[in-house]
Amino acid sequence: SQYWPHSLPSLDKRRLEAFTSKSKLSYNTKFAIPDFKVGILDSLVGLSDELGKLDSCAESLIRRMAQSVVEVMEDSKGKAQEHLLANGVDLTSFVTHSEWDMAKYPAKQPLVSVVDTIAKQLAQIETDLKSRLATYNTLKTNLENLEKKSMGNLFTRTLSDIVSKEDFVLDSEYLVTLLVIVPKPNYSQWQKTYESLSDMVVPRSTKLITEDKEGGLFTVTLFRKVIEDFKSKARENKFTVCEFYYDEKEIKREREEMARLLSDKKQQYGPLLRWLKVNFSEAFIAWIHIKALRVFVESVLRYGLPVNFQAVLLQPHKKSSAKRLREVLNSVFGHLDEVAATSILDASVEIPGLQLSNQDYFPYVYFHIDLSLLD
């Protein structure tokens, strides 16, 4: 899943061929780059900086889109890779067989125009991504909040989906039915004492509706005028009176809201997943085109005019061979920049006025494509 786009002066073709034939550390293929209009060299310096920023933005965008596919698929996230394709093929195949899309990004246009086209395309995808995910995630959050009300113990969950109309005395001017949570060890005490916790409690009016690991939910019917007194006596005996009154309209509204959210989520799921699949492909293709542009611009700046270089895509056979592959490349092509090569081989060398890192500067044009973070 690691790919290294390189470029070397065509005069070094023999060295490249020798390296390719002898090295067993990587699989090497041509990296297709068209003949662009160079224009003024000074403009390439600014374009180089702009492409560097665009490269980072594009990579960040496709990683967020890949993560969004996983999150949207939820229980089916193991199949997310089926949706992370580029032009209908897996990412590895696309990278190793990529060709410049002349129809979408005409190479005859000035480089600035090509870069601007890609930048606007990615900006639009990012804007749409934020909007679509915000809508879907708001819906998902509202649904999860409703579902959470049906979870937990009797103290925290909603009771509207547990009780029924038949459990209550309704439409009475004098009587009211309360719900009381009784700890399991206190069931016997409740049955013996609930009628005497206050005056005007209806005898034999209690009924166990449901229970969990901690306790049970009981009904009790009494006169409205003694509600507060009954609550106070119940607390003293470790019985918890729930702040719940049966409202058929409210219960119906909650159920309809749950059904609506489930329906809306189902309706949005398919279109959102299809949009992510299509636009992930577009963003990934644009990213690889940015890599090609960077190789071209940096090669012209490094090797000069006329344009005369060869671009190659290296894929290290395994992660453990990457370091050795880099050492071999630096050894074979170090003559392209003797000062830089020296600093790479000896990190202790200091060059006045110039800061070089043996990790980010090489005597040839080099970039990196990492697909592992999309797994």
Q: pTM for this structure? A: 0.78
Q: Look at residue 86 and give its three-state secondary structure.
A: strand
pLDDT tens per residue, range 269-285:
999 999 999 999 999 99
CATH class of 2-144+262-370: mainly alpha
Consecutive sets of 10 residues in the chain, 375 residues long: mean pLDDT of each?
A: 82 63 75 87 90 96 95 84 92 93 94 96 98 95 88 88 92 94 96 95 96 95 96 96 89 89 93 96 97 94 86 81 76 65 42 36 74 72
Domain boundaries defined on the chain: 2-144+262-370, 165-245
CA 360, 114, 62, 98 torsion: positive or negative? negative
Cα separation, 198 vs 191, in Å, equals 14
Architecture of domain 165-245: 2-Layer Sandwich (3.30)
Tokens found for residue 188: 């016997």
Burial class (CB in 10 A: 0-12, 13-18, 19+), 337: middle
Nearest to 332 by CA among 2, 21, 5: 21
